Amino acid sequence: MAIQASLKKIRTIWVERISREMAAGEGVRAGFTEQLERFYDLLEQTLVTGDSAWLDPILYDWGRSPTQTNLEQADYYVSFVLNRMITLTIEIAREHLKNKDALELLAAVTPVLAHSLSVVIRYEMETRVAHISNELQSVQEKLQTLDQNKSKFISVAAHELKTPLTLIEGYTSMMVDMVQNSEQAAMKDYLSGVNTGILRLRDIIDDMIDVSLIDNNLLTLNIQPMWVIHLLNLLGNEFKKPIAERNQTLDIVEFEGSGMMIYGDSERLYQALYNVVANAIKYTPDHGTISMGGRMLPGFIEITIKDTGIGISNEDQSLIFDKFGQLGRTDLHSSGKVKFKGGGPGLGLSITRGIVEAHGGTIWVESQGYDEVKLPGSTFHILLPTRSEPNNPVMLKFFGNLDQQKQETEPSGKENSPTDNPSA
């Protein structure tokens, strides 16, 4: 009874002091005072019954009440109010009650207020987590929409550019034929330069189309028997001229499994490896070395392409496989496919990853960092499954069992079999 009497004695002082300190403005203070009165009623009921559940409804309302501004600014206002409420309750009890009554009241009230604070903190955290989750989902949806729009733009732009490019290529070819037997040497050089630009532009458009196919899961593979060493040797022949121009060295190291017959799309895998080797040449200074090798792993062949180039920083090692994942300032890039730090659309490694993953493999890069003086180099790793038969389970995941599909779509012919006809 002494505790109830003490509560009644300090109620008006408690409500006025807390509302005056915690609420600014008469309009805000009126609503806040009403909430404090409600809380005090439930606090008294809790102390009488010994059941803290009486406070749960108001604590739930307070804990779920943060405004959008509170959430965006990470402002834990309600828990701050309750924490301050505990301090003010202690001060008011000491100022307006006898020592014995104050101690008895605080011994009963403080645990209830502390429990209320923990409940409100939990509700506030749940509300904040829900807010952050909604924000992340909204951002993710926006990013997905942006990525889809980017893919649509790439697809439309590539196909729209292809038609006028074909016209330019055709008319240029006719002009070349017209001056072929003439003495207009300068015109021949001009047309040769135009043709080089056409070929470069066609490569870019083809890359844009490939990226669009990969993004929309429309990349088709022509699966046939193939040998990794054949691809590496073809790359060696392809890059002889640029390697000689750059005074570089291209080493091809045979390894266990390189001569093994596996199943894959040799043309697409050649394209994937070509992009990596071209990248290695571009980011390796003159007189550097590019090595192609690998090793046999359980169920996989690992192909490694190592260079003695400028390397890649740790934060950029994942970005280079994204679309348009160029490093450095594009306005400082030199032109050309294999010139040192030569520019490009930044699609090659993205296409490579798409092709490798379509085969059920993976690709990653290792480098000690970026340094144009120490030249730490980079090593690209490509893992390819060692499919020794066309209907390998890994292969079926991507291409389907053509034999089974044929059996399901074609009639069995059993009904028309002569051996099953009683009149035969």
Distance between CA atoms of 285 and 380, rounded to whole angstroms?
18
Distance between CA atoms of 122 and 60, rounded to whole angstroms?
10
Alpha-carbon radius of gyration of the chain? 37
Residue 349 near residue 276 (C-beta atoms within 8 A) = yes
pLDDT at 336: 62
- Strand ranges in 151-223 using DSSP code E only, listed in sequence order: none
pLDDT at 184: 74
- Phi and psi at residue 13, in whole multiples of 5°? -65, -45
Q: In which residue are the tokens 């051996």 written?
A: 419
Instruction: Cite the DSSP H helix spans in 289-382.
Output: 348-358
Distance between CA atoms of 296 and 241, rounded to whole angstroms?
30
Q: What angle do CA 42, 114, 43 make, to 5 degrees?
A: 10
Q: In which residue are the tokens 């930044």 written?
A: 346
Distance between CA atoms of 122 and 111, rounded to whole angstroms?
17
User: Cα–Cα distances in Å, from 161 out to 198, 205, 305, 352, 395?
Assistant: 11, 7, 33, 23, 35
Distance between CA atoms of 370 and 339, rounded to whole angstroms?
18
Distance between CA atoms of 287 and 284, rounded to whole angstroms?
8
Return the closest-CA partner of residue 309 out of 246, 364, 229, 352: 246
pLDDT at 143: 83
pLDDT at 416: 43
pLDDT at 208: 87
Q: Please name the amino acid found at residue 125.
A: M
Distance between CA atoms of 269 and 305, rounded to whole angstroms?
14
pLDDT at 337: 66
Angle of helix 99-179 relative to helix 185-215, nearest 10 degrees, comes to: 140
Dihedral, 358, 359, 360, 364 alpha carbons, nearest 10 = -80
DSSP state of 333: P
Burial of 285 (C-beta count, 10 Å sphere; 0-12/13-18/19+): middle
Return the closest-CA partner of residue 225 out of 42, 395, 111: 395
Q: In which residue are the tokens 């005056």 written?
A: 20
pLDDT, averaged per 10 consecutive residues of the chain (424 residues), comes to: 83 87 63 85 88 86 63 58 86 89 89 87 82 86 80 77 86 84 78 86 88 86 94 96 95 94 95 96 95 95 96 91 69 62 83 95 95 95 85 46 45 42 37
Q: What are 141's two structure tokens?
A: 């949806």
Distance between CA atoms of 179 and 195, rounded to whole angstroms?
14
pLDDT at 28: 55
Q: In which residue are the tokens 């266990």 written?
A: 256
313: left (phi over 0), alpha (psi -120 to 50) or beta: beta
pLDDT at 222: 93
Q: Please name the amino acid found at residue 397.
A: K
pTM of the model: 0.59
Q: What angle do CA 224, 212, 158 make, to 5 degrees?
A: 110
Contacts of 9 (CB under 8 A, 6+ apart): 96, 97
Return the closest-CA partner of residue 382 out of 206, 232, 198: 232
